[in-house]
Amino acid sequence: MIAFFRSHQVVFSSFFCLLVSVSIVGSVATGYLKRDPIGPLLLESMRPFQRALTSVANGVQDIQHGFRTLDSLWLENQQLKDQIQELHQEMEGLREAKATNFRLKSLLNVQGRGFRKAIAAAVIGNSASTWSRSLTINKGSDSGVRKGMAVVSAGGIVGQVLAVSSSSAKVLLLTDHNSGVDVIVQRTRARGIVSGSLEQDPVMKYITRNEEIHEGDRLVTSGLDGIFPKGLLVGQVSRVQKKNYGLFQDVGVQLAIDPSRIEEVLVVSAKYDSTKG
């Protein structure tokens, strides 16, 4: 009998442990065992080691958190870089909008001068030929643009409407050799015609030899051609040459605006609105 127990002592001891376990569970569950005699001892003996290992665990967690933070910082950095890129683009757009706004405001100032009719338009195309200087605007007869109307910008006159379709119009620039505008020298009131040239800058024609004209004299529209309203800036005298022969002086003109850089224009009627300005 004893030999049987000895040969199966592990099994019996295991069974004994099982029975003890079940009795502990039962006692605790039924409330018979209210106080654990060993538990507090175990907890207390383990406490310093747990504290030490927990601090190690916290350190490891801190390191993990640090790496995660670094990772998220890297990600955030990337996102911020993207954002900066987007903001740069947006800023460029805003700069462009600001410049457009400035130009349009200038145009409004021109419009405020009291033209009888003023139509704002945007330049949508340039000349297709080397031999002519023209541009296309996005307003046509539907908007009230008519052939022969003057085209001006904030800086000065641009040209005149040469052809009109329902929603666009072709503008002959002042720099074209076929164009011409009646001008007066602001200082001396001497009259002449500013016209484009294929060879050089626009020139002022029909200035008689006895007229006192100097470089830098401002030229404004006379309003006598029936196309351009009076008093619009055309440009200034850039060169004066009196030859030994002929009736007229050779006068070069530097235009107030560069037609190749115009983006918005105002199509105006030559006559002023008497109720304005």
Partner 1 sequence: MKLFVLFLFVAFLSVLLQTTLLHLLPLGPVVPDLTLVICVYWALSRPSVSTAIGAFFMGYTVDVFSSPILGVNAFALSLVFLSVHLSSRHIWIRSPLFTATLVFLASWVKVSAIVILWSIFLTTQNAWSGALRYIFLEALSVAFLAPVIFFLLSWAENRLAPLRNVS
| Interface positions with partner 1 (CB under 8 A) | 9-11, 13-15, 17-18, 20-26, 28-29, 33, 36, 38-39, 42-43, 46, 49-50, 53-54, 56-57, 60-61, 64
Residue 147 DSSP SS3: coil
17 or 80, CB closer to partner 1?
17
Rounded Cα distance between 192 and 181, Å, is 8
68 or 81, CB closer to partner 1?
68
26 or 114, CB closer to partner 1?
26
54 or 101, CB closer to partner 1?
54
Question: In degrees, to the nearest 5, what angle opens at C-alpha 43 toward C-alphas 37 and 46?
Answer: 135
DSSP string, 110-141: HHTTTBS-EEEEEEEEE-SSTT--EEEES--G
**Least distance in Å: CB of 36 to partner 1?**
6
63 or 99, CB closer to partner 1?
63
**Least distance in Å: CB of 50 to partner 1?**
6
State phi, psi for 219 to the nearest 5 degrees: -115, 130
DSSP string, 155-202: SSEEEEEEEE-SS-EEEEETTSTT-EEEEEETTT--EEEEE--SSSS-
Rounded Cα distance between 52 and 46, Å, is 10
**Least distance in Å: CB of 96 to partner 1?**
51
**Least distance in Å: CB of 38 to partner 1?**
7
For residue 275, the 8-state DSSP code is T
Task: For the beta carbon of residue 51, count every other beta carbon within 10 angstroms.
Answer: 10
63 or 163, CB closer to partner 1?
63
**Least distance in Å: CB of 75 to partner 1?**
19
Residue 267 β-bridge partners? 119, 151
**Least distance in Å: CB of 31 to partner 1?**
11
34 or 261, CB closer to partner 1?
34
Q: What is the CA radius of gyration of the chain?
A: 46
**Least distance in Å: CB of 81 to partner 1?**
30
DSSP string, 203-249: EEE--BTTS---TT-EEEE-STTSSSPTT-EEEEEEEEE--SSSSB-
60 or 163, CB closer to partner 1?
60
Rounded Cα distance between 156 and 233, Å, is 5
Rounded Cα distance between 82 and 228, Å, is 51
**Least distance in Å: CB of 80 to partner 1?**
29
